Amino acid sequence: MLVFGGLPLFYMELALGQYQRCGCFTVWNRICPMFKGIGLSIFVISTYVAFYYNTIIAWSVYYLFSSFNYEVPWLSCNNSWNSDNCTTFEQRRIQSLPMNMSTSSAQEFFENNILEIQYSKGIDDVGGVKWKMFLCLLGVFSIVYFSLWKGIKSSGKVVWVTATLPYIVLLVLLVRGCTLPGSYEGIIYYLKPNWSMLLQPGVWIDAAAQIFFSLGPGFGVLLALSSYNKFNNNCYKDALITSAVNCCTSFFAGFAVFSVLGYMAHVHKKSVADVSREDVGLIFIVYPEAIATLKGSVFWAIIFFVMLTTLGLDTTFGGLEAICTGILDEFPKLKRHRELFVAFLLVYCLLGGLATTTYGGIYVVQLLDTYGAPISILFVVFLESVAVSWIYGVNRFSDDIESMIGTRPGIFWRGCWAVVSPVFLLMLFTLSVVSDSGPVYGTYQYPSWSIGIGWIIVCSSLICIPLYVIYKFFTLEGSVCERLRKMIQPSELPKHVQRQEAEPIFL
């Protein structure tokens, strides 16, 4: 997945942004004007992600502030949000209560206090906006605004903190996790492969989603950020190093998580599979419950949720900066009013995310998480690789890279861009459509109409591409052949290429 999908496309977008010096809209004027709708699709997908992803950060912020107490509030069952079925960690450990006959205090803190899900029957009854979640979300967007309002210079300074601090915290959590009883079993469970899972399409789709969310191809982030690089920056080396660091970080983080899961399994006398969860509950229920049992739990809770918050902010900075760069490059006059534009964009995302702050907001979050990006982004990146390799031309693209770094991409990269990656992406997209089983949260079953809404969300981003093709065709002048020729030929050149062509040549 990484070698044939993530890494080649990561390298392609880095090189594309660095050479063309623009964002996800304008770049298609210089590659293939017909596919400018890809930029619109990226914008729609990125806004869907912003609608729910920042709410998840808001949950982390709420946990963080709740941790500043004598003891973490999810340790006990003596709170106003607790039910009669609430059991503390000690009770579950001593009495060996079945997990399906009781509710942990950590689960009730998340579901009854943060989500307040007990006041919602499902996605068809989400209720009103919760003021405390709205304030947390407003706080997140305020941080994002003051990090992005001055452009890459301001966000770049903030990223020094948000990108490096998590590594320090992760190392501390790993060391602590490995000293806990049972951690070895958790690590063995993490490292032991289950080869039969490779036959399940959902595993490949989840792996693709992980690769694309962590590396960023298809979201316009790489195009935007690499457009600020120096022209002769070695983007090939950047691609290799960044991908390797990203992969190692994910692998490293797994040890920190599963060492603690092993500890939980050891205490409960359960298997690791029985105590783990596949949804957001792993981070917001299981891990906080484990932290609550440690000596100095307040300290561990604070550093854990500081790490989660900074990781989330770091990710949302990139996604929203990609939108800003794309639109401001397309409409240069807006650059003089960047502060107002960023404010308008974030208010739009805040309003779009209001549904996720309701009593049934978790159901909206899971719906957007399932249909907002993972499926459509595969098709968007497929078309992107086709447009660059087949229409713009893999040889021309290789020439562009050689003019920047002095080295022409090898046969492996050209083969991946032209054949392997497009085929791979199309197969994954087809699998994701055919094998879709809908969003999941606990035992809740989504109604069929909500699944239909999910597919409308998918189509709303993808429909931008053919609609723009039709728009472009009918707005151009000339015969059918002349219009088609104009649609696939670059309509403008990067400024550095224009200067080179304008320079007189003396023989």
**DSSP one-letter string for 218-256:** TTTHHHHHHTTS-TT--HHHHHHHHHHHHHHHHHHHHHH
Query: Is 246 known as a binding-site position?
Result: yes
Residue from 491, 11, 387, 406 nearest 231 by CA: 406
Rounded Cα distance, 110 and 81, in Å: 10
Q: Tell me how far CA of residue 351 lies from CA of 47, 298, 450, 482, in angstroms.
A: 11, 33, 20, 44
Say which residue the tokens 């981070």 belong to.
283
Query: Is 311 known as a binding-site position?
Result: yes
Cα angle value 136/115/373 (rounded, 5°)? 80
Query: Is 214 known as a binding-site position?
Result: yes
β-strand partners of 322:
none
Rounded Cα distance, 413 and 401, in Å: 12
Which sign does the torsion angle of CA 253, 254, 260, 264 carry?
positive
Do 145 and 385 form a contact (C-beta atoms < 8 A)? no
- In single-letter form, the type of residue at position 246 comes to N
β-strand partners of 358:
129
Q: Which residues, including other chains, have CB under 8 Å from residue 364's CB and lie 6 or more apart?
A: 52, 123, 126, 355, 356, 358
Q: How many CA atoms lie within 13 A of 317 on its CB side?
A: 27
Do 13 and 317 form a contact (C-beta atoms < 8 A)? no
Q: Which residues, including other chains, have CB under 8 Å from residue 391's CB and lie 6 or more apart?
A: 31, 32, 34, 35, 488
- φ/ψ (deg, to 5) at 317: -55, -50
Per-residue DSSP letter, 280? T
Query: Is 460 known as a binding-site position?
Result: no
Which sign does the torsion angle of CA 224, 225, 226, 229 carry?
positive
Q: Which residues, including other chains, have CB under 8 Å from residue 298's CB and lie 6 or more apart?
A: 67, 68, 69, 70, 71, 72
Which residues define the annotated binding site? 214, 246, 311, 314
Which residues define the annotated binding site for Na(+)? 214, 246, 311, 314
